[in-house]
Amino acid sequence: MMSMVVRQSARAFRVGLVWLGIFLIAMPMLWALLTSLKPKGDTLTFPVAIWPESFTFESYSTLLFDTMFVQLFLNSVVVAVGTTLLVLIVGTLGAYGLTRFKFRGAELGAATILFTYFLPSTIIVVPIYLTINQLGLSDTLTGLVLSYTTFALPFALWMLRLFFQTLPVEIEQAARVDGASRLGLFFEIVLPQALPGIIATSLFTFIIAYNEYLFSFIFINSDAKKTLPVGINFIVKTSYEIEWNIVMAASVLMTLPVLIVIVSCQRYLLSGFGVGNTKG
């Protein structure tokens, strides 16, 4: 009996520890949320007031109606969706080709993908700047999408290939015996099975592209074409004095799409972590 009590309280202690850890880790994000709900004056008090006197959505309305936030957000979404579509369409075909077909250079192809998967954007940024300029695409969202494929495509190919490798090849052979053509079975048999993997890859690609900073920072000059990560900094820095409630509101709003993706698709994201490991 005694040991049972001891074991149960040890367990309770452990669970308590978990929630304490989670609270500490979530703290900065909670603090950001709290700050964003404070009126302007409340952020600049000394000593620091933890709990605001009143909650207000004033920072959010300022952000949405008096700044370029919405424009920047739309740019980010366009670039992220564009990158995801391009990379997923090209990458799904390519990854399947690399997984299921034997042809000269297939092995080399896979190794190259892995290599470029690790290739840092900081290395590619100098020459890709030149390439995008040569294509006449500097300061355009199209150019940005193309530059994003340098990291998004290897990532998607690598992850999708791992997903395709988990599909039992017998099912595709059965379809061939049953009368499907090789391309036909790709659409009828393979794609439906690979759907969880394709969703996970799309979500990760979207988040990576949505959060990207360096390329956007260097390739886009016009304010109207900036993406959120770069533009937000620019909203913040141009104001005479930093209004932290607005900055935090921007952080929260900017994170919202990512949060929605995580909450609604946690299952897919975790399976993505399982096979692919995401780009950091």
CA distance 269 to 202: 10
- Minimum CB distance to another protein, residue 78 (Å): 17
Using alpha carbons, select from 203, 172, 27, 183 the residue that is nearest to residue 93.
183
Comparing CB distances to another protein, the nearer of 56 and 129 is 129
CA distance 168 to 179: 18
CA distance 254 to 261: 13
- Minimum CB distance to another protein, residue 149 (Å): 6
Comparing CB distances to another protein, the nearer of 55 and 182 is 182
- Minimum CB distance to another protein, residue 54 (Å): 18
Comparing CB distances to another protein, the nearer of 1 and 192 is 192
Comparing CB distances to another protein, the nearer of 58 and 217 is 217
- Minimum CB distance to another protein, residue 191 (Å): 9
**Non-local CB neighbours of 52 within 8 Å, separated by 6+ positions:** 34, 37, 38, 39, 42
From the number of C-beta atoms within 10 Å of its C-beta (0-12, 13-18, 19+), residue 56 rates as middle
- Minimum CB distance to another protein, residue 223 (Å): 16
**Non-local CB neighbours of 47 within 8 Å, separated by 6+ positions:** none
CA distance 138 to 120: 21
- Minimum CB distance to another protein, residue 273 (Å): 5
**Non-local CB neighbours of 214 within 8 Å, separated by 6+ positions:** 121, 122, 125
Comparing CB distances to another protein, the nearer of 58 and 100 is 100
- Minimum CB distance to another protein, residue 68 (Å): 15
Comparing CB distances to another protein, the nearer of 27 and 70 is 27
Comparing CB distances to another protein, the nearer of 22 and 70 is 22
What are the residue ranges of helices labelled H in the chain? 2-36, 40-43, 58-66, 69-100, 106-118, 121-134, 141-166, 169-177, 182-185, 191-211, 214-219, 228-238, 244-275
